[in-house]
Every structure is written in C-alpha cells, then in structure tokens.
Amino acid sequence: MIKLNKVVTKSKKRVGRGMGSGKGSHTVGRGQKGQKSNTDIHILFEGLKMKKSFLKRLPLMRGKGKFHGKGKPVTLNLSDLESLPTGSVITVELLVKSKLVDAKEAKTFGVKILSNGKTTKKFTFEVPTSKSVQSSK
C-alpha cells in the first residue's frame, strides 16, 4: 500500500469578517489610525505634491510592450567561427551571410563573440567581443 503525504493548504485569512475569523472587528490587524489603516494606497502615490510625477517622467512610448526591456545580444563562440576563412573581417553582415546568426535577431539585438571553444584561425572583429577574445587576438 502506497502512503501519500498529506497536502494541506491554508486559505488566506479574510480580515474584517466577524469575530470568529480571527482578524475581525474594529481595526482588523491594521493598527489604529493613519493612511495605511484604511484601504490600499495607490501604487503610484508618491507621498507629496511632486513637480513632475513618476508617470510624467516616463518616456512617452505607445503600445503593447512598452515596459519590456531590450533583449540581450545573440552570442557566438569562437569555435563557431571555424567555418569562416582565415583573416576574414567578422561583421554582422558576414555572420548573417554565412548563416551563423538570424538576420532579424542580429539587427534587433546585435551580436557578441565569446571565447568558448578554440580556433586556429586569426580574425579581425568589427562586432563586440568579450575581454578574453580581445586578449587572444
């Protein structure tokens, strides 16, 4: 016979719902008077009259995804560049043409070369590289 562990989840304590609820009557666990004893404070409330509020200081960007940060660059290792000819100048266009990176991603986020792996060939880089790649040039 297999014995299962008992899974018990406690329900959220509902404040202000009578004496039997454990958090009922009068101040319902919020202390006494004051701003925080009433309902919630609005998330954008700043506490005093600002000359320029936080919302006004945000850049005016429209549309769906305006709060998403910019993505990270597409990373390539030194070992991925073995297929390229020796002495070539590594640019984003060359990497796209040799199908090492996707054109849309490279244009949107950029490309960065990391030093993972080894290569016997010498290259000139015109794309961002890690410090260890720069020292091995």
H/E segment holding residue 124: strand 124-125
pLDDT of residue 119: 80
- The two tokens of residue 3 are 């014995």
pLDDT tens digits, 7-49: 888 888 888 888 888 888 888 888 888 777 877 777 777 777 7
The mean pLDDT of 49-56, rounded to a whole number, is 73
Distance separating alpha carbons of residues 80 and 87, to the nearest angstrom: 15
Strands 124-125 and 89-90: parallel
pLDDT tens digits, 76-124: 888 888 888 888 898 899 999 998 899 988 888 889 988 888 888 888 8
